[in-house]
Structure 1
Amino acid sequence: MKILFLNAFYAPHIGGGAEVILRRLVEGLQRRGCKVVILATGPEAGLHLQIQDGVPVYRAGLENGYWHYTQQRPPRLARLVWHYRDRYNAGMRRYVREVIAREKPDIVVGNNLTGWSISTWDEVSAAGLPIVQVLHDLYLLCPKDTMYNHGKSCQRQCGLCSALRLGHAAASAQVSAVIGVSRFVLERLVDQGYFARARQHVVHNCTPANPAQDDTPKKRSNFPLRFGYIGTLSENKGVGWLIEQFQRLGIDARLDIAGRGKLDYEAELKAMADPAKVSFLGYCDTDRFMRSIDVLVVPSRWAEPFGLVAVEGCANHLPVIATNMGGLPEIIRDEFNGLLCSPDDPDSLGTAMLWLYIDGALRQKLASQARASVLPMLDMERMLDQYQAILRETLQGTRTHHEPEPADHPATPRLEPVGIRQADAADAGRRLAAAD
């Protein structure tokens, strides 16, 4: 089986958890004997091939106003034009066509389509290849991927997003199988009429277990207590909300913030933070950061499709405070491995932090149960089994004639895919630019 993976970015360009998971998936399937090829956007015009850790990686120059892998926020008009063209970027089809002609894959796995647009579905279908679409975000409902606007998570598509996604649901009928990284994200898209003909699956993202994490949680003897956040620094991630709530508590504790964001927003956050209480660490190694804190906070104000960082926190024996939105409740169980709060009740975040600051016994109890609660999500081989089974099933289902299945990993057991509901299952332009 030869698989072409298509995504907005590929390492070393990491836009978020999707790129982390994709690299682990690609390298894992390659170890199992599958032939894998990557197609991602890149900073240079044209199509460029490099071999990266034994994997052919094609990078295509984005046929749009700018490459979206940047910490600089482009002007509003530039963002408007970018999103408008990204409705259906026909200019990107030629890269898909060229890579398919060169590599001759058996199946194509789409991931984040930002920059590529759904034009890729048409090109892959024109080549007669089956498509498996993995849902890491809400791009198919919202040009900004997040369905977050004016400080709140959108409960439904606004008129502008509906207009910019007109015809997308119908186009998704070309997809043979769809994989949601959470039940939440799959159901959100299916409820909007997407993937009516596709077999539907849920495969939670996994992170490899670090042997050093196997130890029982250790009590830190040094104080003050340390709360931590690691991830993208953006409004929808709730970083500003976290800083505000933490500083209002007036407790003997520290808040460490790791990660990067748009430079203008980073400056806003640093301006509101008390440097005696809040530290901005920039990029950090995740495991090392987790070992330096006592409580992980995931204060997402948007409906996070999954939340891999919450899994990583639990794997490191940390109690996790998270919002009860999106896919996070599929990881964090209230008062079992963490505490849940709600952006609809802003003080609930501060209350959760105060509770864990005061109640050391509860903090220790949640920490002691955290790792065991996410063990299935630490099993990379299990995730690879699930993906491989779905790919084989999809490929077999789209062959017009029976062919022997490729023996790319004979020792791998055939598993039934993890499924969900498989059987029953210009003024406007200014508003978009202002919202972005």
Structure 2
Amino acid sequence: MKFKIFMNHLSRNGGAEIIAIDGAKMLARKGHRVSICVPRNQVEESLLNDLDKSGVSVIYIDMKNFTHLGEHKDICQKIYDQIIDVANFKLRDFICNNIEKSDYVIVHKMRSLSPLLFKFLRENGNDFIYCMHDYELFNFNAKKIGGVASSIYFYLFRRYFLKFINKMCCPSTFMKSEVESFFDEEKIYVLNNFISGDFVSDDNKKYDVAFFGRLEQIKGIEYFCKTVSMSGRKTLIVGSGSLENKLKKQFKNFHNIEFLGNLSHNNAINLMGQCKVVVVPSLWAEPFGLVAAEAAMCGTYLLVSDQGALPEVLKNVGGYGELIDKQSIIQCSLFLNVIERIFISGVLDKKPDIKNTYNIDFYYKNLIGIINESQS
């Protein structure tokens, strides 16, 4: 088969991006012809050589946007991106010139591309799957517009394009239940994300507790830092985000806390195996929980928020860990009590029963099954 994979940003800085890139490479290894379609100004050049060696080509969409700036966009850049979301007609020309009717299209992220993408693909005669990694479709611009205006925007504009989507894939059962509130249940599939890497557990673990991920408010990182600063336990924090500089400055005198910033995927996986407990204190409803799944494969005990799909992921990887409710995360004294109880209870001495539920072979089998069903 010939695949065209749309993503809004060619990088490995997020779970959706990792799934899109590694999924493309996997399809190429299986003998398919694969191309990634991405805006020209949203490409990390360091990834291109690896993709080329893997047999994956990159096709550039000639358009400008500022999605990669995230919360650092100024008001003019926000307005520009909003206009592009409503009227990105360059996509039609791109699809007509680069997407053949025989191509099967997978859309991993359409933020910055506009939901017009779905309409133009249907007009071009393509079958396609939209992989919904987060809330971008039905909660778009919530931070920028907010409240009632955001809801009106969705219902008057973005909801219109749902009818053009052939199949929608969700990374978890939880996310599927969320999508069922506004989309045809018969067109929704669970396509669990996969994890990949050399998962090794170190017998002599260097760190007591660790956080891996984006340093953003919704990830609960501020409460985590405050809590571990009271514990004195050796703590590792891997990742970057809008709160990075603030947190480094606020906790610079706490010598038990080590900030390493962004690391390569392989280096992050290696460090997970050196941690006794990995904490995922998310305050929002996580659509999946890639960090939790990866840490579990390293034999690391999990303390994860009860938000979103995290309880589902914890169960599917073997249950070596426990849940913590959102209120206990916010109240740092309760958060600290939970962490300390883990270390004195003896649960860390138990041998984990790891289940490799989220492997890439399962992902490929399920993906091809969904494609074949949609074409039947």
TM-score range (shorter-chain normalised) is 0.7 to 0.9
Q: Cα gap change, 1:62/1:314 in structure 2, threshold over 3 Å: closer, same or farther?
A: same
Q: Are residues 1:14 and 2:12 paired?
A: yes
1:342 corresponds in structure 2 to 325
Shift of 1:320: 0.9
In structure 1, runs of 5+ residues without a counterpart are 150-156, 398-436
Give the aligned residue type for 2:370: I
Q: Are residues 1:376 and 2:364 paired?
A: no
Structure holding more helix per residue: 2
2:138 corresponds in structure 1 to 141
Q: Are residues 1:364 and 2:349 paired?
A: yes
Deviations 1:265-320 (A, max 9, x none): 22211122144121110122222211222110111111111011101100000011
Q: Are residues 1:119 and 2:116 paired?
A: yes
Q: Are residues 1:266 and 2:249 paired?
A: no
Larger RCO (CA within 8 A; separation ≥ 6):
1
1:218 corresponds in structure 2 to 203
2:77 corresponds in structure 1 to 78
Match of 2:152 among 160, 163, 182: 163
Q: Are residues 1:280 and 2:269 paired?
A: no
Match of 1:390 among 353, 367, 370: 370
**Aligned sequence identity (%):** 21
**Mean alpha-carbon deviation: is it higher for 344-353 or for 126-135?**
344-353
Q: Distance in 2 between matches of 1:276 and 1:269?
A: 13
Shift of 1:170: 3.4
Q: Cα gap change, 1:88/1:134 in structure 2, threshold over 3 Å: closer, same or farther?
A: farther
1:96 corresponds in structure 2 to 95
2:105 corresponds in structure 1 to 108
2:278 corresponds in structure 1 to 296
Q: Distance in 2 between matches of 1:370 and 1:280?
A: 30
Shift of 1:117: 1.5
8 Å CA contact 1:87, 1:117 repeated in 2: yes
**TM-score for both structures, normalised by structure 2:** 0.87
Q: Distance in 1 between matches of 2:197 and 2:74?
A: 42
Q: Are residues 1:354 and 2:335 paired?
A: no
In structure 2, runs of 5+ residues without a counterpart are none
Shift of 1:84: 4.8
Q: Distance in 1 between matches of 2:185 and 2:71?
A: 40
Q: Distance in 1 between matches of 2:185 and 2:102?
A: 22
8 Å CA contact 2:42, 2:68 repeated in 1: no
Q: Distance in 2 between matches of 1:201 and 1:44?
A: 29
Describe the SS at the equivalent of 2:178: helix
8 Å CA contact 1:300, 1:323 repeated in 2: yes
Describe the SS at the equivalent of 1:227: strand
Q: Distance in 1 between matches of 2:337 and 2:160?
A: 45
Shift of 1:363: 2.0
8 Å CA contact 1:175, 1:197 repeated in 2: no
Q: Distance in 2 between matches of 1:22 and 1:80?
A: 28
Q: Are residues 1:257 and 2:250 paired?
A: no
Q: Distance in 1 between matches of 2:68 and 2:178?
A: 26
**TM-score for both structures, normalised by structure 1:** 0.75
Aligned length: 360
Shift of 1:79: 2.3
